[in-house]
Amino acid sequence: MLSQFKNTNLILAPMAGITDMPFRRICNKFGADITVTEMVSARGLIEGSEKSFKLLHIDKDEKNTGIQIFGNDPLVMARAAKIVSRFNPAFIDINAGCPAKKVIKSGSGGGLLNDLDNFKRVLNAVVENSEVPVTCKTRIGFADDYSDEIIDIIYETGIRKIAIHGRTVKMGFKGSANYDWCKHINKFNDVKFVLNGDIDSPRRAMDLILQYPGTDIMIGRGALGNPFIFEKIKKAILGEPINDISYKIWFDTIREHYNLMLEYYGDYGLILMRKHVGWYLKGMRNSKKIKDFIFRSNNYKEIIEVLGEYDRT
């Protein structure tokens, strides 16, 4: 069975407000082979936005990290690709799937799938101006599934790594991910396809890899509060037992995550960390009281003490 998995990478999906440097490093630690930054506004980069440039930061301890950019103007995307290339990421990823209304309204992200001619111009602009490999993350269509046409367009630009989330843009994250699009995979022997959508367990990941060997697996929401999922999938691949995460590993991970957030953001990291703590505590017994305390507290020492005394069982 191992031969089915030898060419498979586990990828942390780009997620706005989530896949910053601290979280990427935590996921790297637990086995994510590739990570991607939060989406970065191409226009923000060419206008010199401090916020946009901060998102480009890749720590020296990170490995195989790509930078995702979004926009709808080919000229702007071309200039952004040149800027991003100077930061020497492992690759530049083009966002062609974000379902956020504000992004779609601008014609960016998933909105690119509403105008396939411009979509192709945007892809070409980035490919022609990037000094690093270019990938694309997209969806099966805007309102309907026309994934075959989308894949053809991406392929024609020379991009050879394509991540597809198995929902339409209009679906957002409702319903279930549809992997019928994978029937097109065998048509492209020189493309690395990345499967994305509802991969939230080792069993689901293994089922997909066995069904579509040679593909990569991209995990987004399944890693929220659960960076351990990458390690669990790798253990499943090796046929090793998958045990529940011990309290010590769970607590040490949250504490390390806090420390990275404080190092990167200063005191504001305590506020940004609140959503992550909510995910780490999700579904655990008697967690409401501790979450309420943490969401109000701005004292790192107090937070760690409370978490250290928490009984998850």
Assess contact for 69 and 46: CB atoms under 8 A.
no
274 burial (CB, 10 Å; 0-12 / 13-18 / 19+) is middle
CATH number of 2-238: 3.20.20.70
What's phi and psi for 251, nearest 5 deg? -65, -45
Q: Could you tell me the end-to-end alpha-carbon distance of the chain, in angstroms, rounded to an integer?
A: 35
pLDDT averaged over the chain? 95
Tell me the pLDDT tens digit for each residue of 40-87.
Answer: 999 999 999 999 999 999 999 998 999 999 999 999 999 999 999 999
Tell me the pLDDT tens digit for each residue of 256-289.
Answer: 999 999 999 999 999 999 999 999 999 888 888 8
Domain boundaries defined on the chain: 2-238, 247-308
Tell me the pLDDT tens digit for each residue of 105-148.
Answer: 999 999 999 999 999 999 999 999 999 999 999 999 999 999 99
- pLDDT value of position 259: 98
Q: What is the pTM assigned to this prediction?
A: 0.95
Q: Is 223 helix (H, G, I), strand (E, B) or coil?
A: helix
98 given a catalytic annotation:
yes
Nearest-angstrom CA–CA distance, 125 and 119: 10
Assess contact for 169 and 97: CB atoms under 8 A.
yes
Banded model confidence at residue 236, pLDDT cuts 50, 70, 90: very high
- pLDDT value of position 50: 97
Banded model confidence at residue 2, pLDDT cuts 50, 70, 90: low
Average pLDDT over residues 86-112: 98
